Amino acid sequence: MSTKYVYKFSEGNRDMRELLGGKGANLAEMTNAGMPVPQGFTVTTEACTRYYTDGKKIAPEIEAEIMTNLADLEALMGKKFGDPENPLLVSVRSGARASMPGMMDTILNLGLNDVAVEGLARRTNNPRFAYDSYRRFIQMFSDVVMELSKKRFEEIIDDVKAKKGVKLDVELDADDMKQLVVLFKEFYKKEKGVDFPQDPKVQLMEAVKAVFRSWDNPRANVYRRMNEIPYDWGTAVNVQSMVFGNSGDNSGTGVAFTRNPATGEKALFGEYLINAQGEDVVAGVRTPSPISKLHEEMPHVYEEFVDIANKLEQHYKDMQDMEFTIEDGKLYMLQTRNGKRTAAAALKVAVDLVDEGMIDEKEAVLRVEPKQLDSLLHPTFDAEALKKAEVIGKGLAASPGAASGKVVFTAEEAKEWHQRGEKVILVRLETSPEDIEGMQVSQGILTVRGGMTSHAAVVARGMGTCCVSGCGDIVVDYENKQFTLAGKTYKEGDWISIDGSTGNIYGESVATVPADPSSGPFGRFMAWADKYRQLQVYTNADTPRDAKQAVDFGAEGIGLVRTEHMFFEGERIKAIREMIVAETTEEREKALEKLLPYQQGDFEGIYEAMEGRPVVIRYLDPPLHEFLPTKEEDIKEIAGELKITVDRLKEVIASLHEFNPMMGHRGCRLAVSYPEIARMQTTAVINAAVNVQKKHPDWKMVPEIMIPLVGEVKELKFVKDIVVATADAIIANSGIAMKYEVGTMIEIPRAALLADEIAKEAEFFSFGTNDLTQLTFGFSRDDAGKFLSYYYDQKIYENDPFAHLDQNGVGKLVAMAAKMGKETRPTIHMGICGEHGGDPTSVEFCHKVGLTYVSCSPFRVPIARLAAAQAAIKNPR
Amino acid sequence: MSTKYVYKFSEGNRDMRELLGGKGANLAEMTNAGMPVPQGFTVTTEACTRYYTDGKKIAPEIEAEIMTNLADLEALMGKKFGDPENPLLVSVRSGARASMPGMMDTILNLGLNDVAVEGLARRTNNPRFAYDSYRRFIQMFSDVVMELSKKRFEEIIDDVKAKKGVKLDVELDADDMKQLVVLFKEFYKKEKGVDFPQDPKVQLMEAVKAVFRSWDNPRANVYRRMNEIPYDWGTAVNVQSMVFGNSGDNSGTGVAFTRNPATGEKALFGEYLINAQGEDVVAGVRTPSPISKLHEEMPHVYEEFVDIANKLEQHYKDMQDMEFTIEDGKLYMLQTRNGKRTAAAALKVAVDLVDEGMIDEKEAVLRVEPKQLDSLLHPTFDAEALKKAEVIGKGLAASPGAASGKVVFTAEEAKEWHQRGEKVILVRLETSPEDIEGMQVSQGILTVRGGMTSHAAVVARGMGTCCVSGCGDIVVDYENKQFTLAGKTYKEGDWISIDGSTGNIYGESVATVPADPSSGPFGRFMAWADKYRQLQVYTNADTPRDAKQAVDFGAEGIGLVRTEHMFFEGERIKAIREMIVAETTEEREKALEKLLPYQQGDFEGIYEAMEGRPVVIRYLDPPLHEFLPTKEEDIKEIAGELKITVDRLKEVIASLHEFNPMMGHRGCRLAVSYPEIARMQTTAVINAAVNVQKKHPDWKMVPEIMIPLVGEVKELKFVKDIVVATADAIIANSGIAMKYEVGTMIEIPRAALLADEIAKEAEFFSFGTNDLTQLTFGFSRDDAGKFLSYYYDQKIYENDPFAHLDQNGVGKLVAMAAKMGKETRPTIHMGICGEHGGDPTSVEFCHKVGLTYVSCSPFRVPIARLAAAQAAIKNPR
């Protein structure tokens, strides 16, 4: 049987999201539920991938299938493409498996031509509307299909308005619109060398291709990379008969959520515009009315809509985000989907749905995107500082959080300033999908136009970035890079602050305080996550302060203390430099002797902060040259401090030079060369643990010592022997009993390949997936940036493997090693301590391969807890 | 049952070499064959490894077992340890599984003390002999067991001789010897604080321990690393009742080979000394008589020896290397083993043994150490140059080959000069095991003393280094770093030449010519190797000259053409620099256009040289910064050449800087960034192949294009698509049909892990085990030298993984990838092109994992052919 590439709405259902995209599947589902949906059909995602494998061509059989379905639609609607009496008009919209709002292209009013426009005028008895629709279609088609910028058409409109002496579009009459159509078509022909296509079927096929093409546009690629959407999913195309929200004052269009997407409050939440097309709401050009006002303006429509909204929420058992259009008083549903929401809203909705008996705890845990929790952990304004700060304006509280930064006016500037290390607030009339990268690097986003569902608001919420939208009092002067608000002028570079939870704007920098995630339903929700997860969540922390912070966020231990981070301050760096320039073991030991008390004190502090929880301490890891100066003047100064000649210091620096430091004399290789380093570190760890154990007899101290960069069991054994000899002697003298463990990082491919042997000596494994990724891919993290952009462009790699664990390659090594390690030593405990430890998809992988814990930075601990819970629910062990 | 740690000679046999060591197993075998062997017992290699695992202690049960066997030996010999009438004396010698001549320690005359010496004097009626033996024993025991240098004792002897007014040891009489014993014991007590041990059992146990310890001495470690002998094998200890070659003029000692170890000629070959102990021969202190002279001096002994020698050769079916001692006219066999031999001798012996019907072809193939062939391929002196060169002296032709170099007098200097890039000839009175590293880096070795079996001769033959030994005319003046010969003085740094095949010495540098391995039995022997091997042998060659050379050595194709090697000359480097500094694709293409004719011409030359054999061409691999200058003055000059500003060039250099260039922007990453490079290279490859195909219609040209540094199938696909599009277009225009293949290097761990996917696109794999080793171990070849020495010291790694493939780790990846590659594409062909391709153990591994070919440098081709044959014979597929 040949593949079916086109489905009528009446043929699909919600489970066909992979094939029909989210929009298509839900349109089908609503159709089947008897809801008022303008009918149409969906060209599948498979047609899209076929389009690309066929060299960006639509195969004849797919075109034939589209035409058959078009004919059926004509029959169903009783309208015909290009019909001079009753023309069928359609919208053509993208709809991928995952929602990618604003990322791809849409064309409305398709089917209009010189003949059909007359039919539309006649049927609606509204020539101005008909010609307005036609000129809009020409504009949109030219932009999306033919890459003729919308702006050029706006200039023609401005010309016509100027000649007529009017300022607003609404002041143009039917004849003006007719004239615009003529001018647009002339312009089109001039630019493209051919007439604007009059055959609606040609228009349709070109539009379908344009939607397929838009899957691969730059902003879609950026969005996918940010949201981990695979390139090979492709997008579906929905062809739907048009209904017109702009056909008069008894028409309108709007979007609404069944609950408040910012707070989660259970109440219909949305906006609409009378006499407008859908894009007018989303684009934020006009500021719409709240949905509650519809109750007054069109009570019957409102009631029908409330009824549908409730049904949809009950049906999907989640908060819905719906688009609707009212045509001549009749309601049509254009889309429903699970609504995007803030983290706070996500938590509240999930907990409320459980309390309402709609879903169970496990389902609730699955409902919150782990990465979203990040925004809950971000600072808010300091209450005292806020009292003194003057509110200079107010907009919509579009995305919660508080931010201070310097004003910039374009996404490009935001990126540039950010690269210089500046914090910026991006101030725009309105944002558009092109701005996405600039938005990402901004502390906050402030817009003049647009509501809660405007592009700026939707995207900022998704990013967890604070946003105030629709502050119409602001007058932006892009040219002079300044804006005025409340009589004051703010120039590029001036500090402002915005509060995305209140909509307040401050003309100065305002101090912030850390987030308090324990307020609201956070605690209850995270307790469910902790109940279902099987992975433990540790943190990477080098100081008691970080350790404390992580415990507050729910960390159950420390998976990585980087001991070298303690070596860089004051007297310590001096001592480590003395060690490095030492010419004999004795001199080296003398220098290490000086480091011992610092190191021991640091460990005691961390042990105290962790109150008996597990702490894994990694031994000295970086190459020694990192501790030496490189600049001439520093070399002179430091040679003086070390009481050696400049030449001698330069000699040492030269002798430590490495061609590929990442693969150089570091990690346990240092301990093999200079066992006295491992001896000192062991003394510090065990002394600290003994002291803390004596002070807190109820804690059960079991220091865990981690040997980095092991590639061979004999290497581990060599260092372990030093550790054991040193530790056993100290413990024997301490007068108390204490156990300790010696384990290793698995971060060298060879260690993973020989994990069975290494597990003979290692009591635990910690997968160092940063280095393991570098070595498995054979590219240096510091250098890969230069060529990875080409790889993203060519879709060779879709994700940064340092952000998301490469499950195919690196993951294969991790899985192999975990399996072999367990076979050799069934009691082995295993974790991950690379940056992947806080990445949800990587956490899921760690769960699947049976690790014991993940370790991540303190602020990612809640994310990891939730990701671990979701992994456990989705993949029962 | 508990382990048996001690075996009497009568309990063992030749198959117990792993347990008893080579020497012990063969002593047992000779004992069982009824040959005259002084009886004794062997402490096993397992006792040695136990000694180390027990913390360098001999366990009580092992000591007990030694004592039991000692008692049995006493009973067998009718002598008793320390007996005042008839004392048992023994030798204590090491004997590992593999022969390690001179690497470990030996003690003779053990059992002598103040009482036993009297018994020996009485029984032999030769007090001088008895006390001479005692003082030798004290000296040897002090040196080997107590680390008191022999030299200090020699000084005491010199004192005594001076006081007496004599010059030679033989001028000392019995009383002098007695006095020496007293002085030696006094010195011992002064140095060690205790009396010289009088209990022979204590002496024995200390000696056994000393032998075990000597397994771990630095020179043994170096030797093992050179000869790939695992540290964990350990050594056995042979305790054998003494016979005395130095008990008078009816006694003697010698060593002999059943065939000539230099030429393979079938004739007894050896040397002996009358009235001497074995060490006197090997140490090269006195120059011995040829074995044929024994026929005149002791005809009966000679006949018995010849008879035994023949029996041993028949028994072991190989040329034997034997040690013997004559005590009062009676012959004793002290050792037999398969004799070390030169490559020429190895070939001749192997071929002769087949002709004599003693072994078959396969066995013959196994009899030659592949690495040895190297020496056959090394140059000899140019005949014309030789005519003009003056022979200034003559020594023994101890190890064949010809060498010119500058004179140095110590092993340390040899190393230093070598590091400076100088070629040196090491001139020594005699060499000792401490000199081994210096010998290794020398072009040749010239000694004043010592015969064909002296340390210098044996070791040089093993290394394939040319050596002239025993040139007694030379007067060495170490102090002034000079020697005189034939009235002339040669200082350190002066050029000399030596011919290890004739023994001639020349006082100047003499030109050499390449080896002609096809002379002698080489051709016949290699034909057998080719008959039995299953791996194909390719070569790595970048020029027609190298290609030709390799074909002469038997290469069947080129496994690696490094295209970048062609980019470094004259106009080429200019064009590639233009490409690098290009700011647009167009500029880059213009520069590449200039490179195209060069590259195409090179490929045509190589294709012509290979006459239709397979040629695998690797695309541009190194990071581009390798083509740019680093020095200020060069930058200025080159900026001028390129007609760009110095600042612009510096900018490009800075932009190309990498932290870890090994893991940087190189390999196929260049082709992904700049597809035009791959396009140019493809054009050159295919144009060249088409031209050569047209010129030689009988050759079947199938160019093989190899994409380096692939880590992901999409990456390979991307570059392959460029190659295919370019190649197909050229072939279509060429008017002839031609196939080509596109394959990849497997040199990134991820490529090996995902070889199943990569094989979907790759028509062949070539394992680049140099980079694969770097990435799998996580150490950079350029930097690892600094810390690997610690690893060798600690026995963490025993071999350089860049010389011998790490079969456990890297090999696991290779085996996995080979298996997966074949599963995806059963027709895939696979080879190796790292330096391991010419290493015999690595070649065996390649055979075992089922590769199609190995590729190595031209001079290693014969080695690889033989190694492949041995692998096939040992591991039938």
Report the interhelical angle of B116-124 vs B127-144 (nearest 10°): 140
Q: How many CB atoms lie under 10 A from the CB of residue B496?
A: 25
DSSP three-state, residue A870 = helix
Number of A to B CB contacts under 8 A, please give it.
170
| Residue B34: partners with Cβ closer than 8 Å, 6 or more residues away | none
CA nearest neighbour of A729 among A717, A740, A718: A740
pLDDT at B454: 75
Residue B34: what are its φ and ψ, rounded to 5°? 75, 20
CA nearest neighbour of A483 among A404, A414, A427, A417: A427
pLDDT at residue B570 greater than cutoff 80 = no
Give the integer Cα–Cα distance in Å for A403 and A379.
8
pLDDT at residue B276 greater than cutoff 90 = no
For residue A799, the 8-state DSSP code is: S
pLDDT at residue B280 greater than cutoff 80 = no
pLDDT at A75: 96
Q: Which helix (H) or strand (E) holds B67?
A: helix B60-77
pLDDT at B463: 67
Task: Say yes or no: B654 contacts chain A, CB-CB below 8 A.
Answer: no
pTM over 0.80: yes
Q: Which residues of chain A have pLDDT under 50?
A: none
CA nearest neighbour of A723 among A703, A709, A737: A703
CA nearest neighbour of A745 among A554, A614, A561, A604: A561
Give the integer Cα–Cα distance in Å for B126 and A212.
108
Q: Which of residues 683-742 of A touch B (CB under 8 A)?
A: 709, 711-712, 714-715, 718
Q: Do A665 and B809 touch (CB under 8 A)?
A: no
Strands B320-327 and B330-338: antiparallel
- Whose structure tokens read 């002179």? A636
- Radius of gyration over every alpha carbon of chain A, rounded to an integer in angstroms: 32
- Options A466, A833, A846, A856, the catalytic residue: A833
ipTM over 0.85: no
Q: How confident is the model at residue B786 (pLDDT cuts 50, 70, 90)?
A: confident
Q: How confident is the model at residue B611 (pLDDT cuts 50, 70, 90)?
A: very high
pLDDT at residue B452 greater than cutoff 90 = no
Residue B836: what are its φ and ψ, rounded to 5°? -65, -20
Q: How many CB atoms lie under 10 A from the CB of residue B622?
A: 17
pLDDT at B535: 97
pLDDT at A798: 84
Q: How confident is the model at residue B400 (pLDDT cuts 50, 70, 90)?
A: confident
Choice among A347-361, A628-642, B529-543, B591-605 with the minimum mean pLDDT = A628-642
- Residues A284-295: tens digit of each pLDDT: 567 789 999 999
Q: How confident is the model at residue B461 (pLDDT cuts 50, 70, 90)?
A: low
3-state secondary structure A491-553: ECCCEEEEECCCCEEECCCCCEECCCCCCCCHHHHHHHHHHHCCCEEEEECCCHHHHHHHHHC
- Residues B16-66: tens digit of each pLDDT: 999 999 999 999 999 999 999 999 999 999 999 999 999 999 999 999 999
Cβ contact B203:B89 at 8 Å: no
pLDDT at residue B283 greater than cutoff 60 = no
What is the mean pLDDT of the segment spanning B834-842? Answer: 88
- Residues A88-124: tens digit of each pLDDT: 999 999 999 988 876 777 899 999 999 999 999 998 8
Task: Give A-chain residues touching B779 at CB under 8 angstroms.
Answer: 663-664, 669, 711
- What is the Cβ-side half-sphere exposure of residue B319, based on CA atoms within 13 angstroms? 32
Q: How confident is the model at residue B603 (pLDDT cuts 50, 70, 90)?
A: very high
Mutation to test the B interface, candidates A231, A756, A796, most B Cβ within 10 Å: A796
Q: Do A786 and B665 touch (CB under 8 A)?
A: yes
**Which amino acids of B are annotated catalytic?**
455, 833
pLDDT at A239: 97
CA nearest neighbour of B180 among B154, B207, B200: B154
Residue A766: what are its φ and ψ, rounded to 5°? -130, 115
Cβ contact B237:B27 at 8 Å: no
What is the mean pLDDT of the segment spanning B716-744? Answer: 97
pLDDT at B63: 97
DSSP string, A39-81: -EEEE-HHHHHHHHHTTS---HHHHHHHHHHHHHHHHHHT-EE
pLDDT at A462: 56
Angle at the Cα of A414 (from A408 to A419), degrees rounded to 5? 130
- Which residues on adjacent β-strands are paired with residue A142? none
What is the mean pLDDT of the segment spanning B665-675? Answer: 96
Q: How far is CA A472 from the centre of its chain?
A: 29
Task: Say yes or no: B774 contacts chain A, CB-CB below 8 A.
Answer: yes
- Options A378, A455, A836, A847, the catalytic residue: A455
Q: Do B672 and A797 touch (CB under 8 A)?
A: no
pLDDT at residue B697 greater than cutoff 70 = yes
Q: Is A833 annotated as catalytic? A: yes
Pick B660's closest partner by Cβ from A672, A715, A780.
A780
Bin B867: left if φ > 0, else alpha if -120 < ψ < 50, else beta: alpha
Give the integer Cα–Cα distance in Å for B180 and A45.
100
Q: Do B659 and A782 touch (CB under 8 A)?
A: yes
CA distance B361 to chain A (A): 39
- Maximum average pLDDT range among A392-401, A539-548, B282-291, B461-470: A539-548
CA distance A660 to chain B (A): 4
Mean pLDDT over each residue of chain B, to the nearest integer: 92
The 10 Å CB-count burial string (b at 16+, else e) for B16-43 is bbebbbbbbbbbbbbbeeebebbbbbbb
Mutation to test the A interface, candidates B658, B753, B813, most A Cβ within 10 Å: B753
Q: Do A660 and B661 touch (CB under 8 A)?
A: yes
Task: Say yes or no: A786 contacts chain B, CB-CB below 8 A.
Answer: yes
User: Could you tell me the two tokens for B822?
Assistant: 């074949």
pLDDT at B298: 95
Task: Say yes or no: B630 contacts chain A, CB-CB below 8 A.
Answer: no
pLDDT at B848: 97
What is the mean pLDDT of the segment spanning B722-750? Answer: 97
Pick A662's closest partner by Cβ from B660, B776, B791.
B660
pLDDT at residue B303 greater than cutoff 90 = yes
Cβ contact A207:A142 at 8 Å: no
A780 → chain B, closest CA residue: B663
Q: Do B712 and A796 touch (CB under 8 A)?
A: yes
pLDDT at B20: 97
Give the integer Cα–Cα distance in Å for B94 and B433.
15
Q: Do B754 and A808 touch (CB under 8 A)?
A: yes
